[in-house]
Amino acid sequence: MTAQATGRETTFAGLPAVELALPQGDTLRVTLHGAQVLSWVSGGQERLYLSPKSTMDGQAAIRGGVPVCFPQFNQRGPMAERLPKHGFARNLPWQAAAPELSADCVQLCLHLQDNAHSREWWPQAFALQLHITLRPGALRISLNVHNADTQPLAFSGALHTYLAVPDVTQATLQGLGGQAEWDAVANTHASAAETLQFAAEFDRVYAASKQALRLNEHLYIQQSDSWANTVVWNPAQALCQRLADMPEDGWRHMICVEAAQVYEPITLPAGERWEGWQQLTVPTP
């Protein structure tokens, strides 16, 4: 009899969560708070970074995993002065449907729609779905936005993925060479180098590449054309020391590579939908 994937409801640090597992050994943990993927183990390794000092109170954003930034990126958005940084989707509880299970795939869909909490910040009717697909050696996360209002919906956002690395100062990221680059630390514009390295604070926005990015030799990163940008971020030591929810050396063990919409908001007419995904793949030995 062929072994099936499994899915179960559980709690993590006191928060409602769903744990998924494939017979081949890959596992995934998702918390309903923010619909946030917190752990992805593939090939016997944890592929995501989760800060051990993350706030797990069901109110604040969780530092690590894959936060869903919506309806704005950072404080760039249609109502930036009223919305929390990176929007509110990562701060609210989502609902999870029963996972779809097979021998080599598990799919989980989480839902969030406008409610009393979201309308405190944003008077817009909307419905979000986060589709998570786990296969051996691969994780795809897809955000679907539905404008459920009678007026246009404008938003920016990101899948703010924290990737685990043994030592970021030894890490390399390839695949963005030649793309337009804004260095937010120095406030300069240039074309991206063929190989990115991380010896100091790094906060840059790129025009998205058509090709897969490669982190070191152990992970490929792709995103849909519907995201215009890729953001790469590491706080380095000085900034990390000012982040209350990060350990002093946390910066050394993570690098964010985000599928994002930064400069120009996406505008959906009433009733329309948008979808944007990011896929992480472990190369086959």
86 catalytic per annotation: no
Q: What tens-digit pLDDT sequence spans the chain (285 residues)?
A: 578 999 999 999 999 999 999 999 999 999 999 999 999 999 999 999 999 999 999 999 999 999 999 999 987 766 666 778 889 999 999 999 999 999 999 999 999 999 998 998 889 999 999 999 999 999 999 999 999 999 999 999 999 999 999 999 999 999 999 999 999 999 999 999 999 999 999 999 999 999 999 999 899 999 999 999 999 999 999 999 999 999 999 999 999 999 999 999 999 999 999 999 999 999 987
CA gap 49, 63 in Å, rounded: 9
The active-site residue, picked from 33, 86, 146, 160, is 160
User: What are the chain's domains?
Assistant: 6-281 (2.70.98.10)
Residue 54 near residue 61, CB atoms below 8 Å: no
The active-site residue, picked from 86, 146, 181, 258, is 258
CA gap 175, 257 in Å, rounded: 12
160 catalytic per annotation: yes
User: 3-state DSSP call for residue 125?
Assistant: coil
